[in-house]
Amino acid sequence: MPSPAVREARGAAVFAGSPGEGGERGVSPLCRGVDRGVAPPGKYCVVALGSNLGARLDILQGAVTAIAAIPGVTVTAVSPVYETVPVGGPAQPDYLNAILLARTTLPPRDLLRRLNEIEAAFDRVREVRWGPRTLDLDIIIYEGLTSDDPDLSLPHPRAHERAFVLVPWHDVDPAAVLPGHGLVAALLAVAGDGGIRRAQEELSLP
């Protein structure tokens, strides 16, 4: 019996849509039997969550709750949690990673600003690039938007090669597409799932 969060995720993935598909897509195998819902207003986006300092699970849950409370943001699905080996940066503790699907009426920069505020509320400190952090919130995609602005690169420039993004994303949306790179399922086949393992703990939607 899937958890409430995963049940919600499977339902949400039906209307989550993908860039270039007009926000609507066919029902993936995981979603069969789920009624098509009406998508909440706004643009489809995917946010990655990571924490490797402090009470990691509580922090991720707090972030999900805080993101869901942002005016103009509707969180439609939250993925399983993965314990992951750090990629890059200095020696540091393992991460907990997850992703969430959302729709938002906020422009991308406003969404990033709100996410940065949530990071700050969880005592995020920026000292070393790719260093340990209580909370990292990255926008992986914002509808089909592309940008090479260093302050907001879209899609996230390293998402296509990172199992800690691809695996949880694929869990909640097996038909997901990363603009410019193709199907997440195909990217996952190349990236592999080394260095990550499913955690027993789960996040819930408020």
C-alpha dihedral (130, 132, 135, 140), degrees to nearest 10: 20
Determine if 138 is a binding residue for Mg ion (CB under 5 A). yes
> Measured on CA atoms in the order 7, 178, 105, 24, is the torsion positive or negative?
negative
The answer to whether residue 119 forms part of the interface with Mg ion (CB under 5 A) is no
DSSP secondary structure letter of residue 169: H
Out of 10, 25, 56, 136, the active site residue is 136
User: Of 89 and 182, which has the nearer Cβ to Mg ion?
Assistant: 89
Q: How many helices (H) and strands (E) does the chain have?
A: 5, 10
Smallest gap from Cβ 29 to ligand A4P, in A, equals 28
Mark 65-104 with x for binding to ligand A4P (rule: CB under 6 A) and - for no binding: -------------------xxxxxx-----x-x-------
Stretch that binds ligand A4P, among 32-40, 53-61, 68-76, 154-162 (CB under 6 A): 154-162
Q: Which does 88 bind (CB under 5 to 8 A by kind): ligand A4P, Mg ion, none?
A: ligand A4P
Helix 163-172 × helix 4-16 angle, to 10°: 90
Q: How far is CA 12 from CA 74, 109, 124, 161, in A?
A: 11, 24, 30, 25
Catalytic, out of 10, 103, 138, 162:
138
Task: Tell me how far, at minimum, the Cβ of 48 lies from ligand A4P, in Å.
Answer: 7
